[in-house]
Each structure stands twice: as structure tokens, then as C-alpha cells.
Amino acid sequence: MRVLAAMSGGVDSAVAAARARDAGHDVVGVHLALSAKPATMREGARGCCSVEDSRDARRCADVLGVPFYVWDMAERFSADVVEPFVAEYAAGHTPNPCLRCNEKIKFSAVLDRALALGFDAVVTGHYARLHDGVLRRAVDAGKDQSYVLGVLTARQLAHAVFPLGESLKSEVRAEAARRGLVVAEKPDSHDICFIPSGDTRGFLADRLDDAPGELVDAASGAVLGRHNGVAGFTVGQRHGLGLDRPAPDGRPRYVLGIEPVSRQVRVGAAEELDVRSLSAGSPVWHGEPGVTDGVVVQVRAHGGLAPARVTVGEESLAAELGQPLRGVAPGQAVVVYDDDRVLGSATITATG
């Protein structure tokens, strides 16, 4: 099989490419240039896709003896990931850009180009398993990335290869060292790759025509203070609210909701964050629509799990939760699991 190995410049994608080669595949490595200013895309362990990462990927490809190319995807990445990320926050939502990158870039733009060039599949360093076209959780629960792959369609999964799904991260690093790969001890990237500083609020403030507004007690409607703009607030946020006095009972306050039009940020007690039902749109479902009992939903890349009863239609998904979840906001993805098997996903539009 002729495969295109997406090599980010990190240890996971390098070992994935090596394993694909060892499995007898005809491997070609490709590094995705996702930024028009790659020199700004890494700060220590934050971010990725920098010039340094491109060079690391090339050095790994040389060690493995596979051809290597750089594909400029900066314009597509900006249009399909960065701009929607900003627009979602402007609407008061909480997007997941890593999930959208998988959906729109790695398994859409890159996969489509790969297939057009005669490749059979795209290989990545994601920690997830594929068995007969079915996406499953990785063996390493702490590194499992099936959540951010839950948006992939059956067609996309049919052309995907995840060689690391059966391994622990420690095993991958040890293997990289044995193979003489320079990235064996390279730190994993954290946070949002196109915000290497980690300052999401500052990034959004530079791109949105934001304005001051009120911090309002959700229960009483009382104005508690003011903020400089809704950009960067997220449901469930506790710190950085700018309130100079605690609640009457002395307990901390959390962001409960964001109203971009009125520019109000509603705050309240932790228990008011409890969500017992979800509504979601644009489902990707691997099976027949209808009602499914005894499943588990996940609303964050790590954590945020609850048993649920899920109803799936052609354009919508609804979940009744067996136990409440906190910090759930429109814009997040909900991924549905049957044990370790991904049944599908959708984008949350409302909570109850």
C-alpha cells in the first residue's frame, strides 16, 4: 500500500511513519506548513508547525530513508480552522480547533490530495485504533485521541492508518530512541498550535471588534462588574473574571453563559453548571439513526464523560445524560462511545 505519512516534527508522527515503513508500505513523508509565519509557531512546548518542526520532520525522514516534502496548507488552515475558531468565540461558543483540523485539513484537504496523487491512505501519529474501519479508543488511556477523530466519516476512516493505537507513549519514546530519531525526547506540543503563547483572550482581542460589557449574577440579574469584552470567556471558567468580591456565601463564581449581542457574561455557583441533556447538530453517525441506550458521551478531549441515552436523526443528535456534566458549552463536540468503540459525533448547539 502506498501511504502518505503526515510528519509534524514530533515523536509520535515520526514513529508512526517508521512503523508504516516496517509494515511494508511504500511511505512518503509530508510536513504541513500551516502558518504564513512559521517562525512564530512554537514557544517551548507550546504550539507546533514551526520551521524547527519542519527541520525535525525532515531529519526523521532522512533517518527512515523515506522521501519527504513540505505542503503549504497555510491558506486552507486559516480559512477552515483559524477563522471559524474566531467566529465561534464571537458567537459565544467554545470550539475545538484540533478536532476541526483533523476534519478539514488532515482528513479532507490532505487526504483528498493524497488520493488524487495515487496514495491509498494517510498515516498519522494519533493514539487511536482502527479495526475493520471502526474507530476505537487507544490502549494508552492517558493519550487516547479518539475524541478528536470522532468527526471522521466512514470514507475518511477507510483511508486512515493509526500505527500507535496499541502502544503506550513511553514505548513510543523508547522506540524513537532506539531508531536514532532526534525527536525521541522532544516535548509534546500543548494548547492551540496557532496560539503558541497560550494567550487565547489576547489572540481573540486582536481579531474581534469586541466591546466592554457586564458581568451579571445569573440568579438575581444583579450587575456584579464589567469586563473588557466577551472574547475568551468560556463556560465553566472560574479565574480571570475580574470580580472584586466573592458571592454572599463566600463560594467562587463560574461563567454560566455568554451573550455576545448584549455583551453580558452570566456567572453563578458551580452547581448551576450542571447539564443533564444535550442538543447537537451536524452528526457524523456510523450506524442507523434512532435511539441508542447504554452508551457513553464525551464532551472534552480528556474527561467529561457520562452515561447517556442518545437519539440520532438525519441532522440532529440529542442526549439524555445519566449523570450531570459541568462546563459544557455550545460549539464543543459530543462523541458517543459503545465501550471503546466510537459510534459518532455531533456539535453541541444547546444544553439543558
Residue-level pLDDT at 49: 67
Instruction: Kindly indicate the confidence band of residue 200, based on its pLDDT and cuts at 50, 70 and 90.
Output: confident
Query: Can you point out the beta strands (E) in the chain?
Result: 2-6, 26-33, 42-43, 46-47, 68-72, 121-123, 129-131, 134-136, 160-161, 213-217, 223-227, 254-259, 264-268, 275-285, 290-298, 305-312, 316-325, 333-338, 341-351
Mean pLDDT of the region 81-106? 93
Give residue-wise pLDDT tens across range 52-92.
889 999 999 999 999 999 999 999 999 999 999 999 998 88
CA distance 19 to 177: 14
CA distance 56 to 27: 17
Residue-level pLDDT at 95: 92
Decide: 328 and 315 in contact? Cβ < 8 Å. Answer: no
Residue-level pLDDT at 47: 55
Higher pLDDT: 242 or 88? It is: 88
Sign of CA dihedral 332, 298, 150, 237: positive
Mean pLDDT of the region 91-102? 92
**Which segment of 118-122, 232-236, 272-276 scores lowest on mean pLDDT?**
232-236
CA atoms within a 13 Å half-sphere pointing along the CA-CB vector of 285: 21
For residue 240, which of 202, 272, 277, 209 has the smallest C-alpha distance? Answer: 202
Beta carbons within 8 Å of 178's beta carbon, 6+ residues apart:
none
H or E element, residue 110: helix 110-116
The cell numbers describing 133, all together, are: 474501519
Secondary structure (3-state) at 54: helix
Please give the distance of CA 46 from its chain centroid, rounded to a whole number.
Answer: 15
Residue-level pLDDT at 176: 98
Residue-level pLDDT at 242: 84
Higher pLDDT: 51 or 214? It is: 214
For residue 238, which of 250, 227, 253, 249 has the smallest C-alpha distance? Answer: 253
Instruction: Kindly indicate the confidence band of residue 197, based on its pLDDT and cuts at 50, 70 and 90.
Output: confident
Residue-level pLDDT at 281: 97
pTM check: above 0.85: yes
Residue-level pLDDT at 36: 72
Residue indicated by cell numbers 456567572:
267
Largest separation between any pair of C-alpha atoms in the chain: 66
Decide: 276 and 297 in contact? Cβ < 8 Å. Answer: no
N- to C-terminal Cα separation, the chain: 48
Mean pLDDT of the region 308-314? 96
CA distance 299 to 276: 13
For residue 111, which of 56, 149, 63 has the smallest C-alpha distance? Answer: 149
To 5 degrees, how large is the angle CA 232–CA 237–CA 239? 95
Annotated catalytic residues are 101, 193
Decide: 166 and 174 in contact? Cβ < 8 Å. Answer: no
Mean pLDDT of the region 277-292? 94
Instruction: Kindly indicate the confidence band of residue 325, based on its pLDDT and cuts at 50, 70 and 90.
Output: very high
Mean model confidence pLDDT for the chain: 92
Mean pLDDT of the region 242-265? 88
Pairing between β-strand 316-325 and β-strand 275-285 as defined by DSSP bridges: antiparallel
Residue-level pLDDT at 185: 94
Residue indicated by cell numbers 504550539:
47
Residue indicated by cell numbers 447538530:
281
Give residue-wise pLDDT tens across range 2-48.
999 999 999 999 999 999 999 999 999 999 998 776 555 555 555 56
Amino acid symbol at 137:
R
Residue 254 has pLDDT above 70, yes or no: yes
The cell numbers describing 182, all together, are: 532526534
- State what percent of residues in the chain have pLDDT above 70: 96
Pairing between β-strand 333-338 and β-strand 290-298 as defined by DSSP bridges: antiparallel
Residue 136 has pLDDT above 90, yes or no: yes
